[in-house]
Amino acid sequence: MLLVLLSHSHCALEWWIRDIAYNLTHDLLKEYFDLWTAIDSIRPDLDESSEDTIVWTLESSGQYSSKSAYAIQFAGQVQSSFPALIWNAWAPPKCKFFLWLLLQNRLWTSARLQLRHWKNNYFCALCERNLETAHHLFFECPYSRLVWQLVATWSGCPSLQPTSWKEVLELEDCFNQTIRAGWKKEHTLAILTVWNIWNRRNAVDLQGRTKGATFPAGGYQGHGSSMVLGGMQSFKEFFS
């Protein structure tokens, strides 16, 4: 909020009060008293002989600057976690874009299709037990949790193990639990795992394929080998 303090002459204040003396509603009256209290708290100089002055409180000099006006627009903004969580991770661009959609709950799961009254299967394609929400499909579904478990055991990354997760509802919090800061290998495996769960879901749902337990080799081999070639040495033990 821009705080510009104005000092008014006593005369100007009186006329301003007279102007709002009629048709006062409850809200207007409240605003009036709030403003009165605010003005009273700063004790303006009511010397009629002095000129009104405008002070720009965002600069110590009291002078307006476009730099401080530009900076105040970003006051109170919340830093997005997506650069660290998605865009700076080591994974194929299509998998990052997919994760971006997932964390904003924009994937076309049955639950989202149902909200729009579009054709859907209602049940999770992988376990056929629950309504297919993104939360269920990727983090709750018994089939998906088995996949996470297999990947965790195979890779030796404990944060991928579903038993280590707490019960959280937000998709971003769920995904956050699968990674640890600075652990690139886990981060990449977590992205590839949600990507593979979605592909398996589509294969079952859209192509009528059987679920199959192709993890870890089948779903990761292509991406993993490219990453080793691209320099991700920590993946060498898995994909070379």
Q: List interacting residues with Zn ion (CB under 5 A).
A: 124, 126-127, 141
**Least gap, CB of 65 to Zn ion (angstroms):** 57
Which residue's CB is nearer to Zn ion, number 145 or number 184?
145
Supply the minimum distance, in Å, between the C-beta of residue 192 and Zn ion. 19
* In the complex, least distance from residue 5 CB atom to Zn ion, rounded to whole angstroms: 60
Nearest one of 80, 112, 81, 83 to 96, comparing CA atoms? 83
The β-bridge partners of 157 are none
The region that residue 23 occupies, defined by phi over 0 for left and psi between -120 and 50 for alpha, beta otherwise, is left
CB nearer Zn ion, residue 128 or residue 173: 128
Q: Which is nearer to Zn ion, 88 or 199 (CB)?
A: 199
Backbone angles phi, psi at 233, to 5 degrees: -60, -30
Q: How far is the CB of 127 from Zn ion (least distance, A)?
A: 3
Residue 112, phi then psi, degrees to nearest 5: -75, -35
The residues with which 54 forms a beta bridge, in sequence order, are: 6
- Angle of helix 184-207 relative to helix 217-229, nearest 10 degrees, comes to 140
Q: How far is the CB of 125 from Zn ion (least distance, A)?
A: 8
CB-nearer residue toward Zn ion: 135 or 187? 135
Closest separation between CB of residue 145 and Zn ion, Å?
9
Which residues are within 8 A (CB) of 82 and not within 5 positions of it... i.e. 6 or more apart?
Answer: 100, 103
Cβ distance to Zn ion smaller for residue 85 or 204: 204
Distance in angstroms (rounded) separating the CA atoms of residues 219 and 214 = 7
Nearer Cβ to Zn ion (138/220) = 138
Containing 54, the helix (H) or strand (E) segment is strand 54-56
Q: Phi and psi for 59 in degrees, rounded to 5?
A: -120, 140
